[in-house]
Amino acid sequence: MPQEQAGPLAGKVAVVTGGGRGIGRSIVRILAKNGADVALCARSQDEIGAVAEEVRAMGRRAVAVSTDVASWEQVQKFAGAVTRELGQVNILVNNAGGSVERNTPIAQSDPDRWWRAVEVNLHGTYLVTRAFLEHVADGGRIVNIGSGMGHEAPRGNASSYNVAKAGVHMFTQALAVEVWERGILVNEVLPGIVANGLNPEQRLEEAKSKPPAFAPSERLKHPDRVAELILWIVTRGEDGPTGQTFSLARRPL
């Protein structure tokens, strides 16, 4: 199929974790639409394979590797496959994550499930960054998907997720300081409440006029809105922001 008109990311290589559905899928699609070749991973090969086909239909290259980002061995294999097939990386989006244990006070929490949330959200962000960092081109862009729950005390007793995302926030700060001399800009995005999953349109329709009880100002948004913000961040020039947090939440944090 003929390649779509080149965009601002033409000639760039992007890596997106958790790229098979929801926010990750939207990120992959918008980066490819704007010219980037994209490598993506998630645990479901069927989902990332389907998204990779969407990328190829735009005339871009795509690499899709089933990966558990909490496994150093699997992350290394993913990084090796990406660099062999696509070469140097210009954009890295650490999107993979999720809440493993909800509505459970610390005193009643399961230690293995509690730690799994930290492994996927924080350790996974570290492992992927660690594996790719030497392959990120000078002047590259790294975006970590955080959460408002990492910037405030737990609501709903999801302490493992809060703690993990708080770690992602500080990891973003630390990494930005370490790599700024290479011209690599590192930022965090807080999506707010998003209609994730394979059918966000249906969720948006069901959620009309139903703001969440914990924050009436919030509104459920399509994952494409998050992808649009990330595109804006990664297309800033060399004087663009680094070490910053960009939020789509509709409440103070």
Q: Is 126 a catalytic residue?
A: no
CA 169 to chain CA centroid, Å, is 13
- Residue 96: left (phi > 0), alpha (psi -120 to 50), or beta? beta
3-state secondary structure of 44: coil
Q: What is the DSSP letter of 144?
A: E
- DSSP H or E run through 94: strand 89-94
Q: What is the DSSP letter of 157?
A: S
> Roughly how many angstroms between the first and final C-alpha of the chain, as a whole number?
45
Of 161, 163, 164, 192, the catalytic one is 161
SS3 track for 206-246: HCCCCCCCCCCCCCCECHHHHHHHHHHHHCCCCCCCCCEEE
Nearest CA-CA partner of 107 in 57, 164, 159, 184 = 159
Interatomic CA distance for residues 117 and 96, integer angstroms: 11
Q: State the catalytic residues.
A: 161
